[in-house]
């Protein structure tokens, strides 16, 4: 089985008011390509920081993050940006759509950055898959929370990422909408064969993944690979 | 994809960056335009001034011949000696002569009198252009008889008409026409010294050319055959110089006038540039806030793979585009405003100015606008490079400190270099440009420090016992993202301009008016001949007026200083005399005592002397300092052809502010008492009517005597100050409008920033009235602090000007300052409330939804 993400001895510290604060300490795990994984833990446990480091949004203080064979710690921020554009998709709790771009344009951006052709048709197809084919010309402010998250999903899959990182993807949605969005995430993930790493404290959502990594106080306290190994 | 780190280069996709810049601006265009509108009026000012400058230069070039009225003009302030007269008579194919001097005239119909400039003309002058008169024919017809041309301001002032008469000296002239404009004459000059033309052949009969009178001798030449005037004047120059004569040709006039007005337009463009800089500070502040708001969007883009410099370029393109738009609008506005410039400056211009659209001015303005908006926007924009994609997950405090980028020092350097370079192009002097830039920097620094101090004072002034509304209104002045500093700088500077103008104008007028009080002299009679001295004093007393002072005046020239002549001065550059020290005529007096306005600072006063040996004289302190003279130095004067050797025996400090006869050089009694001289008499007239009656009587009996009364000086000064005031106000207007635009932009920005808070307050039950009160309090104090800062600076500036430049007591008129303070306070409240009405009038939910 191919490993898409390999975390070795990962640590992250912050300096605040002259004191060093360790947010993550000696984290080790690997993620198998095409698998679905959840990182769970209470508020302040360091799960969002871990996601940020895995996705190359930040540099670790110690340890190695290897994404698709690329050691992110050796890259500059601009090089990491290119890695993200090539291999990574994101879904955020607060959707993080560009407010000045229409839904369609938001989906198109990753493809435009890659300089790809026929992106409009492909982006419209993706919007169609998330049920928003007719809302492409709407701005984020004109969409409901659920609709915004669906646009965010379409955008996340637009560059056909090898790995998708989701940070509390249902955190800002009601139960009914959450269910629909979760279904979409898993359906699209299955269809595209993408690896999914989601951060949540919703245990029901985490239970839908093949593997649950629990962290507390910046350390991995359990790594349940039951379903994955089954 | 190759996974080695070296292969992450992606080709820069310029069209996509433009497209993103366009897309991203879509929801913000009105705001971006509002930011950049701060520079519109600065650009408009510069384009208007540049257009005016280009048209002025073109018009001076085209009309230079009519400015001088001849091919060659030679000027002298003393009678020309016979050999020089021979030369003068040999020049030109056609020639004219003019003698001009100040004299009283009398309007027999009304009995009115006025000091004017008499020009006695002989010949066909002007050869180019004309004496503009009504009727037109009068310009040439007046030379055929005992007729005069009278300046239009005089005709209006004394309510006289063509075919009435005026008395000049002993001769009564028929008014042949109204003089609308003489060659090269400006309205200001004709208001101060209105012109009356008379034919030269009647000049002697007027009996006005008494010895001692200050007469200018002008000679005008026209060449009908082709002559290289420049070659000719180059040949003549040494002889003319030696004889103390000046000359003008069409080319020198073109050059001198062009240079003078070039200096004017360059000075004005610096004033316009200050308005532009104010706007730029506003732009930088607005863009800083804009970038802060864009952190989330930029972080998302970075997450999706946009590189740091690509994100930076997207916003740079946006700002450049908006800067270009603002500059173009400013340039169009400037091209419209330039039509006002000839109207504003009409009284100071000797020619008519066209208002053609100057594409060069527009291009310069647009280029300048784009460069400067980019430069100032760069400060906040470079911070975009440091916005981490991590901000999508959580906004980090460190990333909010956008101004901690070391590259900002490079941007500061670019801004300073640009200001110095721009100023250099206006001043043509690097040192002056550096000083101007330092001056600007200090002005901004002082304003910023005052703003910070006021904010600090407000902070410690607030008491917890105050009502919430007051505390909140005040707190808005210093809390994060406040606009206090930028508004105090922009509005404060504009207010300082205007207020200084008001202060200085009122101080100068008050100073002149003060000298009219009590028994101080307020009327001077000069050109009194020896034989008239007693009679004039008698007539003064007959009118129950005091003879405050009666002083003899002798006109002399300086030939040598410590044995060195003018020729030595030209040869020896180590001599430190003023270059005009030998060229000037000196009007000196002789007496045996010091006056109340004089005080010795060095040496001993000698009141009496004989013609034997060196004469002990007293010189004025500033004149001595200027020419590096000290007690014991030897000066040789030419007293009406006779050499008089003197020694500086004392140096006096003189209070020139009193209306009194004061002299640079004072002789002791017994040396020049018999030299040809005239007398000056000082008196005090209590009322306008008494002044008019006295003047009529004196002019009728002694037509050669000229009189100036303080009322006249006051009216001229007031008129001049008003005209200058119009120009300064016009220029300050650009800064004020810029200040208002910055204010509107800042209010709009803060509206976006505070919308959540206001909505929250309303959600929690705050009434419309309460929100209105908080906003009103905040903006009133914002306006009040800005205006107070400007007035404070105006106070300091006026005090410095009064003390060091005008040498008058500081006595500011507080009424205009108070009105300005209230005006700006009220204007700020109105703008603040007007722009906040969206929050007040709409339900909270609607605003929340719209501004998601």
Whether A11 is covered by a domain: the verdict is no
Judge: A92–B297 Cβ closer than 8 Å, yes or no.
no
Question: d(Cα A83, Cα B47) in Å, to the nearest integer?
Answer: 49
CATH number at residue A155: 3.40.50.300
Whether A27 is covered by a domain: the verdict is no
Query: How far, in Å, are B164, B526, B671 from residue B620 at the CA level?
Result: 47, 22, 19
Judge: B27–A69 Cβ closer than 8 Å, yes or no.
no
A63 touches chain B (CB under 8 A): no
Sign of CA dihedral B666, B671, B673, B674: negative
Give the nearest chain A residue to B847 (CA atoms): A141
Judge: B392–A57 Cβ closer than 8 Å, yes or no.
yes
Question: d(Cα B634, Cα B617) in Å, to the nearest integer?
Answer: 10
H or E, element range at B265:
helix B250-303
The reported pLDDT for the residue numbered A209 is: 93
* Residue B136 CB coordination number (10 Å): 13
Max alpha carbon distance in chain A (Å)?
Answer: 53
The reported pLDDT for the residue numbered B852 is: 37
Report the predicted TM-score, pTM, of the whole model to 2 decimal places: 0.73
A147 touches chain B (CB under 8 A): no
H or E, element range at A195:
strand A195-200
DSSP string covering B193-204 = S-EEEEEGGGHH
Give the nearest chain B residue to A102 (CA atoms): B23
Pairwise pLDDT comparison (A206 vs B276), residue with the higher score: A206
Judge: B305–A85 Cβ closer than 8 Å, yes or no.
yes
B752 touches chain A (CB under 8 A): no
The answer to whether residues A139 and A102 touch, using CB atoms and an 8 Å cutoff, is yes
- pLDDT range class, residue A27, cuts 50, 70, 90: very high
Whether A189 is covered by a domain: the verdict is yes
Judge: B850–A141 Cβ closer than 8 Å, yes or no.
yes
Whether A98 is covered by a domain: the verdict is yes
The reported pLDDT for the residue numbered B520 is: 73
Give the nearest chain B residue to A110 (CA atoms): B304
A96 touches chain B (CB under 8 A): yes
Residue A42 lies in domain: 36-48+82-229
Query: What would you report as the CA-atom Rg of chain A, rounded to the nearest whole angstrom?
Result: 17
Judge: B3–A155 Cβ closer than 8 Å, yes or no.
no
Whether A75 is covered by a domain: the verdict is no
The reported pLDDT for the residue numbered B399 is: 45
Q: Residue A154: which of A123, A178, A175 has the closest Cα?
A: A123
Give A58's contacts in chain B (Cβ within 8 Å).
388, 390
Within 122-141 of A, beta carbons closer than 8 Å to B belong to: 139-141
Whether A217 is covered by a domain: the verdict is yes
Whether A61 is covered by a domain: the verdict is no
* CB contacts < 8 A (A, B): 103
* Residue B167 CB coordination number (10 Å): 19
Judge: B301–A98 Cβ closer than 8 Å, yes or no.
yes
Coil, strand or helix at B644:
strand
Residue extents of the structural domains in chain B: 98-206, 549-683
The answer to whether residues A83 and A56 touch, using CB atoms and an 8 Å cutoff, is yes
Instruction: State how far residue A230 is from chain B, nearest Cα, in angstroms.
Output: 32
Structure tokens at B565: 């002549």
Question: Of the candidates B3, B300, B850, which has its C-beta nearest A70's C-beta?
Answer: B3
Within 384-403 of B, beta carbons closer than 8 Å to A belong to: 388-390, 392-394
Residue segments in chain B with a per-residue pLDDT below the cut of 50: 1-3, 5-6, 397-400, 850-852
Task: Count Cα atoms within 13 angstroms, Cβ side, for B102.
Answer: 15
Q: Residue B735: which of B19, B30, B38, B5 has the closest Cα?
A: B38
Whether A214 is covered by a domain: the verdict is yes
ipTM: 0.81
Which residue blocks in B462-561 are alpha helix, DSSP H?
468-475, 484-514, 533-542
B852 touches chain A (CB under 8 A): yes
A3 touches chain B (CB under 8 A): no
Q: Residue B516: which of B401, B662, B677, B683 has the closest Cα?
A: B683
Question: d(Cα B262, Cα B253) in Å, to the nearest integer?
Answer: 13
* Residue B821 CB coordination number (10 Å): 20
Mind spelling out the 3-state secondary structure of B402-459?
HHHCCHHHHHHHHHHHHHHHHHHHHHCCHHHHHHHHHHHHHHHHHHHHHHHHHHHHHH
Straight-line distance from the first to the last Cα atom of chain A, in angstroms, rounded to the nearest whole number: 14
B23 touches chain A (CB under 8 A): yes
Give A79's contacts in chain B (Cβ within 8 Å).
5, 8
Within 169-228 of A, beta carbons closer than 8 Å to B belong to: none
The reported pLDDT for the residue numbered B5 is: 45
Give B10's contacts in chain A (Cβ within 8 Å).
82, 113, 115
Give A92's contacts in chain B (Cβ within 8 Å).
392-393
H or E, element range at B590:
strand B585-590
Question: Rounded to 5 degrees, what are φ and ψ at B194?
Answer: -60, 145
Judge: B393–A77 Cβ closer than 8 Å, yes or no.
no
Give B1's contacts in chain A (Cβ within 8 Å).
86-87
Instruction: State how far residue B848 is from chain A, nearest Cα, in angstroms.
Output: 10
The answer to whether residues B521 and B756 touch, using CB atoms and an 8 Å cutoff, is no
Question: Rounded to 5 degrees, what are φ and ψ at B659?
Answer: -80, 95
Judge: B393–A74 Cβ closer than 8 Å, yes or no.
no
Q: Which residue has the tokens 């001949």?
A: B529
A103 touches chain B (CB under 8 A): no
Segment B205-254, tens digit of pLDDT = 888 876 556 788 999 999 998 889 888 989 888 888 877 788 989 988 88
H or E, element range at B105:
strand B94-107
The residue among A99, A157, A161, A164 with the most chain B CBs within 10 A of its CB, best to mutate, is: A99
Question: Of the candidates A57, A69, A86, which has its C-beta nearest B389's C-beta?
Answer: A57
- Per the structure, the count of domains in chain A is 1
The answer to whether residues B547 and B585 touch, using CB atoms and an 8 Å cutoff, is no
Question: d(Cα B249, Cα B68) in Å, to the nearest integer?
Answer: 7
DSSP class of residue B26 equals: T
């Amino acid at each position: 089985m191919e490993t898409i993400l390999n975390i070795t001895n990962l640590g992250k510290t912050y300096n605040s008011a002259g004191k060093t604060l360790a947010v993550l300490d000696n984290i080790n795990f690997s993620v198998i390509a095409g698998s679905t994984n959840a990182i769970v833990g209470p508020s302040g446990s360091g799960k969002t920081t871990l996601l940020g480091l895995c996705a190359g949004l930040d540099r670790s203080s110690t340890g190695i993050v290897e994404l698709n064979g690329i050691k992110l710690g050796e890259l500059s921020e601009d090089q990491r940006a290119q890695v993200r554009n090539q291999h990574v998709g994101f879904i955020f709790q607060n959707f993080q759509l560009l407010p000045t771009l229409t839904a369609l344009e938001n989906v198109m951006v990753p493809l435009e950055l890659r300089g790809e052709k026929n992106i409009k048709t492909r982006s419209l197809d993706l919007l169609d898959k998330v049920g928003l084919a007719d809302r492409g010309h709407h701005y984020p402010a004109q969409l409901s929370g659920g609709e915004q998250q669906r646009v965010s999903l379409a955008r996340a899959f637009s560059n056909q990422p090898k790995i998708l990182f989701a940070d509390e993807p249902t955190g800002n949605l009601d139960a009914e909408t959450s269910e629909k969005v979760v279904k979409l995430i898993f359906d699209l993930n299955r269809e595209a064969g993408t690896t999914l790493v989601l951060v949540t404290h919703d245990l029901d959502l985490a239970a839908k993944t093949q593997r649950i990594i629990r962290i507390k106080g910046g350390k991995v306290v359990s790594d349940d690979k039951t379903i994955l190994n089954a | 994809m190759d996974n080695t780190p070296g292969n992450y280069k992606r080709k820069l996709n310029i069209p996509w960056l433009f497209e993103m810049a366009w897309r991203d601006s879509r929801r913000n265009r009105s705001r971006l335009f509002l930011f950049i509108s701060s520079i519109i009026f600065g650009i408009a000012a510069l384009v208007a001034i540049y257009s005016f400058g280009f048209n002025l230069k073109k018009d001076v070039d085209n009309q230079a011949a009519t400015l001088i009225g001849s091919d060659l003009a030679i000027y002298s302030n003393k009678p020309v000696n016979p050999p020089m007269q021979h030369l003068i008579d040999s020049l030109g194919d056609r020639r004219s002569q003019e003698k001009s001097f100040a004299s009283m005239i009398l309007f027999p119909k009304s009995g009115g009198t006025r000091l004017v400039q008499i020009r006695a003309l002989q010949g066909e002058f002007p050869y180019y252009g004309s004496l503009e008169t009504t009727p037109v024919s009068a310009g040439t017809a007046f030379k055929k008889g005992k007729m005069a041309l009278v300046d239009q301001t005089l005709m209006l002032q004394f309510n006289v008409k063509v075919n009435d008469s005026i008395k000049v000296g002993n001769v009564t002239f028929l008014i042949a026409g109204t003089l609308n404009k003489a060659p090269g004459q400006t309205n200001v000059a004709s208001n101060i010294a209105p012109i009356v033309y008379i034919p030269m052949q009647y000049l002697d009969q007027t009996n006005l050319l008494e010895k001692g009178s200050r007469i200018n001798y002008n000679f005008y030449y026209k060449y009908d055959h082709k002559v290289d005037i420049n070659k000719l004047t180059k040949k003549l120059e040494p002889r003319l110089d030696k004889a103390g004569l000046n000359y003008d040709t069409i080319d020198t006039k073109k050059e001198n006038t062009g240079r003078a007005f070039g200096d004017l337009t360059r000075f004005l463009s610096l004033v316009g540039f200050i308005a532009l800089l104010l706007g730029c500070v506003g732009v930088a502040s607005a863009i800083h806030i804009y970038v802060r708001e864009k952190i989330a969007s930029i972080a998302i883009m970075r997450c999706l793979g946009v590189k740091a410099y690509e994100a930076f370029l997207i916003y740079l393109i946006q700002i450049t585009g908006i800067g270009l738009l603002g500059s173009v609008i400013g340039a169009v506005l400037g091209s419209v405003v330039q039509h006002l410039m000839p109207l504003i400056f009409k009284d100071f211009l000797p020619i008519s100015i066209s208002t053609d659209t100057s594409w060069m001015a527009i291009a310069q303005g647009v280029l300048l606008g784009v460069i400067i908006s980019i430069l100032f926007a760069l400060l906040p924009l470079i911070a975009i490079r440091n916005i981490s994609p991590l901000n999508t997950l959580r906004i980090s405090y460190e990333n909010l400190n956008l101004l901690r980028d070391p590259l900002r020092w490079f941007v500061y350097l670019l801004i300073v270099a640009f200001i110095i370079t721009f100023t250099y192009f206006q001043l043509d002097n690097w040192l002056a440009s550096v000083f101007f830039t330092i001056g600007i920097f200090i002005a901004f620094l002082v304003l910023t420090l005052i703003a910070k101090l006021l904010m600090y004072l407000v902070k410690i002034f607030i008491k917890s016992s105050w009502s919430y509304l007051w505390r909140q209104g005040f707190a808005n002045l210093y809390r994060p993202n406040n606009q206090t500093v930028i508004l105090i700088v922009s509005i404060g500077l504009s207010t300082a301009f205007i207020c200084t103008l008001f202060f200085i104008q009122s101080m100068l007028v008050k100073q002149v008016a003060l000298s009219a009080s009590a028994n101080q002299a307020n009327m001077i009679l000069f050109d009194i001949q020896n034989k008239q001295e007693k009679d004039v004093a008698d007539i003064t007393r007959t009118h129950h007026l005091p003879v405050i002072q009666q002083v003899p005046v002798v006109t002399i020239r300086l030939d040598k200083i410590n044995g060195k002549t003018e020729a030595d001065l030209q040869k020896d550059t180590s001599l430190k005399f003023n270059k005009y020290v030998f060229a000037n005529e000196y009007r000196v007096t002789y007496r045996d005592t010091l006056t109340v306005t004089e005080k010795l600072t060095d040496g001993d006063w000698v009141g009496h002397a004989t013609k034997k040996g060196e004469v002990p004289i007293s010189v004025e302190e500033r004149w001595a300092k200027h020419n590096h003279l000290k007690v014991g130095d030897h000066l040789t004067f030419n007293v009406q052809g006779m050499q008089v050797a003197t020694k500086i025996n004392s140096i006096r400090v003189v209070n020139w502010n009193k209306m009194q006869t004061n002299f640079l050089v004072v002789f002791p009694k017994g040396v020049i008492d018999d030299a040809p001289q005239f007398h000056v008499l000082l008196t005090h007239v209590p009322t306008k009517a008494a002044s008019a009656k006295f003047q009529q009587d004196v002019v009728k009996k002694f037509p050669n005597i000229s009189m100036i009364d303080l009322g006249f000086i006051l009216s001229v000064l007031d008129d001049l100050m008003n005209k200058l005031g119009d120009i300064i106000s016009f220029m300050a207007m650009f800064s004020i409008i810029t200040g208002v635009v910055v204010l509107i932009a800042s209010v709009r920005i803060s509206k976006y920033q505070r919308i959540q808070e206001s909505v929250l307050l309303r959600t929690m039950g705050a009434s419309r009235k309460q929100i209105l009160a908080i906003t009103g309090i905040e903006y009133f104090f914002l306006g009040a602090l800005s205006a107070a800062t400007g007035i404070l600076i105006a106070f300091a500036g006026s005090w410095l000007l009064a003390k060091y430049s005008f040498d008058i007591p500081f006595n500011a008129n507080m009424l205009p300052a108070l009105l300005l303070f209230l005006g700006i306070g009220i204007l700020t409240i109105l703008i603040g409330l007007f722009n906040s009405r969206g929050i007040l009038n709409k339900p909270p939910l609607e605003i929340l939804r719209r501004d998601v």
